[in-house]
Structure 1
Amino acid sequence: MEDRSHKVLLALVMLFLFAVIVLQYVCPGTECQLLRLRAFSPSAAAADPYRAEDETPARFGPHLLRRVDFNIKGDDLIVFLHIQKTGGTTFGRHLVRNIQLEQPCECRAGQKKCTCHRPGKRETWLFS
């Protein structure tokens, strides 16, 4: 009888370890939607995925601003984050080559990075 209880206990421990490993594989982050009971309710499926958990409204506008007041001679700068396989290289190339500037960006052959300085200064206005 004692041998059987050890086997049952060992099976339960192994099942628990297996469940923990699978849970870490499925939900590697700190937040897991599988652990929330609310995530499986019908109202959660219709909820706005962009709404914050504390029910504060979103801080972005519904429309893109096509005109932005960018002062290239001042302290404004652009940070261009390149994410692989998203067309970022094409966008970055367009950004530095097709914009009409007083002082064009310097692009060296063989490098994907271009240096864009402010007019009359050696300060960089574009980081990519």
Structure 2
Amino acid sequence: LEGCTSLEELPKDMKRMKSFILLNMRGCTSLQFLPHMNLISMKTLILTNCSSLEKFRVISDNLETLHLDGTAIGQLPTNMVKLQRLIVLNLKDCKKLRAVPKCLGKLKALQELMLSGCSKLKIFPIPIENMKC
């Protein structure tokens, strides 16, 4: 779906497609939200430069790589604590992101958290042991 600039939302029957491993929606600039679903096989979700996306919803508890860079999200959901396999979280250039939730400190697999360009970020309350500098 990369580059589908007129895509505003994902098809509702996508939740039946349990075998997705990677979903790349880079550059879907009109995408406004993600529907409630649990794509159990998904390991990688790329929402890079989905500039109309203001809220992120966890759509797979098994994510290992999550790219939210260049989105309009202002905060991350507290249910991100369910992402216990998450290794990479890219939040670069999330210009409206105000805080990193405490729950990210409970993600034991998280090794890489990218926050450059998050100009409104005020709160970073967590020490994360496994991360690379």
* Higher strand proportion: 2
TM-score of the pair, normalised by structure 2: 0.23
* Higher helix proportion: 1
TM-score of the pair, normalised by structure 1: 0.23
